[in-house]
Amino acid sequence: MSENKFGGVLPKCIGNLSTTLTTLVIEGNQISGEILEEIGNLVNLEALAMRANHLSSGIPSNLGNLQNLVILALRRNDLQGNIPPSFGNLTKLIELYLSENNFQGQIPSHLSNCRSLIFLDLANNNLSGAIPPQLIGLSSLAIILDLSHNHLTGVLPIEVGNLRALTALDISNNLLGGEIPDSLGDCTSLIALIIGGNFFHGSIPQSIRSLGGIEEMDLSRNNLSGQILEFLTIFHSLKVLNLSYNKFQGMLPCEGVFKNATGTSIIGNNELCGGLPEFHLPNCIFKGSKRRKTNIMILSISVIFGVLGTSLFLALICLFRLKKKVNKPVSSLTNDSHSNVSYGTLLKATDGFSSMSLIGVGSFGSVYRGILEGDGTIVAVKVLHLMRRGALKGFIVECEALRNIRHRNLLKILTVCSSIDYQGNDFKALVYQFMDNGNLERWLHPNTTSSHRNELPKKLNFIWRINIAIDVASALDYLHHRCHIPIVHCDLKPSNVLLDAQMVAHVGDFGLAKFLLGSSPNILANQMSSMGLRGTIGYAPPEYAMGCEVSREGDIYSYGILLLEMFTGLSPIDDKFGDNLTLRSFVMAALSERALEITDHILLLERESRFDPNSPESNDIFQECLVMVYNIGVACSNEVPIRRMSISGVANQLQKTREKLFALGFQEQDELP
């Protein structure tokens, strides 16, 4: 029944089918709900394939009753939870496909009981922990073992050498470390070896020379070092070699695969030299030249010392003392005074991550207010929910983004914590500068923000809203056009706009951010691709739902919706907006005669208190400023990306609006809300 348009959920009567049924295939449909336990009654099934549906929830453990299964294909669904240990009962299983789901926890070692398994695909899940040695050593695996795009940690077990019949091994984009084991050279049938995007260090083992039939080798984005081994040039089958973003050094060979500049990538290895001109590497300096230069240098230094004598000696002493004072270790990401914050420090700072310290909950983490011991710094601690799919990748992306950006309207990170809690679980947190006035969501919708329902209503006047809008536009302009590597935020919304004590806006939460340049040294842009639709419903641009690449224009759409929300006081997912009405169309219908009717009542009260009703000129200018703002929001949220305003144009128009407000008597120093 595959490749149809069947929808709904599986009927329970499926368990009443004949127990002699051997094949059940319903792939490529639109079936949702859970995998029924009743399927476990079909004890003679040999093939069960439900790939590419919308199945959710966990896998019932009684699927382990299907001990005649040869093929089990459940990839490309929304399945979650742990892989059942009962799968170890499927001893006749030959092919197991579980990729592109949301499975969590560790890979069960019981899968090693499936001693007929030749094809295992667990890629693109949320699996963590170490690779079970029993599984990696399962000698029956002869086609593909794909564990890529998970959160696996630890080392690559030496038992990998048992995979002598395996043709493709992919463990890329995990958190594996240590050295590449020599036993990998025993996998003599390998055609593809993909281990990029991990933390392997050391040199390429000499044993790799045994992989004479290798066609594709990807060792990129690790911490590998040493010289590139000459024997790679004699791999006549090798067509694709990716060694980029490691720490290799020395001369690049010119033979074999290294003759093919399109099939070989070595970028990001700053200490390589030589090679074909297409690689654009510097010329190598040979030892003889080095020796002559060294002799000349020694002679020159001797002459200098002879001439300068005591003066140079004293100068060196002064420089040494100065260096001792100023040469403190600096982190490219964290504030020096708060480096290396431990789990225990954050636990104490937040009173044990108590509910009283909780100030917000997001998709990937909870945010707590904390006070650091010692200097008493008040901080915001974002603790990652690591069991949620995408949380760890979001953490890595946010660290990488914040490492590269500095702007007054971007949330400042003080440090990070990557540790283990007192129960032995992974713990990761980001520590930010505390924002005294919370997020913009609390000011726009104080009565619906669940964690702050007892607060007095927030009141943002016209000038503060304009100031915040200009601050956010400035932040986007910096991210899009003034960063060394342009960044798309991908999740701009009121809860991600933070306000400090002076009501200056700071854009935060870069967990979904993407670096625009695909050729940049940043490797994280593509690692997020498995997270699905970027952004939040109501703020994400329509083209993202159709599979288009993220873009600056996508952020501008989100900004336009944010701007309309700031001045109408209505959320884009308000109940009044049904299938045929959106916040944008609601505002467009009111322009320009009914602009006051759709405006937040707080701004209307401000208008009444500021202006004499008998002064139509002031009221007209007030309404004109509102219309200017609404026009900007509508232009930014155009459904066609190329028709959206530029962010620099937005900032210019808002500044003109603010000048009109100043002329009406509004002041930048208006009392803080």
Q: Do 337-434 and 437-673 come out as alike in CATH topology?
A: no
Q: Do the Cβ atoms of 409 and 507 come closer than 8 Å?
A: yes
Tell me what pLDDT residue 673 has: 66
Q: Do the Cβ atoms of 401 and 496 come closer than 8 Å?
A: no
Q: Is 81 left (phi over 0), alpha (psi -120 to 50) or beta?
A: left
Q: Do the Cβ atoms of 150 and 174 come closer than 8 Å?
A: yes
Tell me what pLDDT residue 127 has: 93
Question: What's the topology of domain 337-434?
Answer: Phosphorylase Kinase; domain 1 (3.30.200)
Question: What's the topology of domain 12-279?
Answer: 3.80.10
Place of tokens 């309404």: 623
Tell me what pLDDT residue 31 has: 92
In three-state secondary structure terms, 411 is: coil
Q: Which H, E and C letters describe 284-298, residue by residue?
A: CCCHHHHHHHHHHHH
Q: CB under 8 Å to 428, separation ≥6 — which residues?
A: 383, 384, 386, 392, 395, 416, 417, 418, 419
According to DSSP, the β-strands at 223-227 and 240-242 are unpaired
Pick among 2.60.120.10, 1.10.510.10, 3.40.50.1820, 2.120.10.70: CATH of 437-673: 1.10.510.10
| Domain edges within the chain | 12-279, 287-326, 337-434, 437-673
Task: List beta partners, residue 505.
Answer: 499
Task: List beta partners, residue 169.
Answer: 145, 193
Tell me what pLDDT residue 165 has: 82
**Comparing C-alpha atoms, which of 499, 342, 504, 359 is closest to residue 427?**
342
In three-state secondary structure terms, 576 is: coil
User: Measured between alpha carbons, how far is 559 from 409 in angstroms, rounded to an integer?
Assistant: 15
User: Measured between alpha carbons, how far is 541 from 593 in angstroms, rounded to an integer?
Assistant: 28
Q: Do the Cβ atoms of 103 and 127 come closer than 8 Å?
A: yes
Q: What is the pLDDT of residues 560-596, one digit of tens each?
A: 999 999 999 999 988 888 767 899 999 988 886 788 9
Place of tokens 């490219």: 332
User: Measured between alpha carbons, how far is 516 from 486 in angstroms, rounded to an integer?
Assistant: 6
Tell me what pLDDT residue 448 has: 60
- Profile the chain (673 residues) by mean pLDDT over runs of 10 residues: 90 89 91 90 91 90 89 92 91 91 92 88 93 89 89 93 89 93 90 92 91 89 89 84 92 86 88 88 69 49 47 44 34 45 89 88 83 87 80 74 79 85 86 91 76 58 94 92 84 93 90 66 37 75 87 94 96 82 89 86 87 75 90 90 85 88 72 64
Instruction: Give the orientation angle of helix 583-590 with respect to helix 552-568, to 10 degrees.
Output: 60
In three-state secondary structure terms, 234 is: helix
Q: What is the pLDDT of residues 140-197, one digit of tens each?
A: 887 789 999 999 999 999 999 999 888 889 999 999 999 999 999 999 888 899 999 9
The rounded radius of gyration (Å) of the Cα atoms in the chain is 30
Q: Do the Cβ atoms of 360 and 495 come closer than 8 Å?
A: yes
The catalytic residues are 491
For residue 258, report the phi and psi dihedrals to the nearest 5 degrees. Answer: -75, -5
What size, in residues, is the chain? 673
Q: Do the Cβ atoms of 219 and 232 come closer than 8 Å?
A: no
Q: Do the Cβ atoms of 7 and 31 come closer than 8 Å?
A: yes
**Comparing C-alpha atoms, which of 45, 47, 52, 59 is closest to residue 6?**
52
Tell me what pLDDT residue 316 has: 44
**Comparing C-alpha atoms, which of 535, 408, 541 is closest to residue 475?**
408
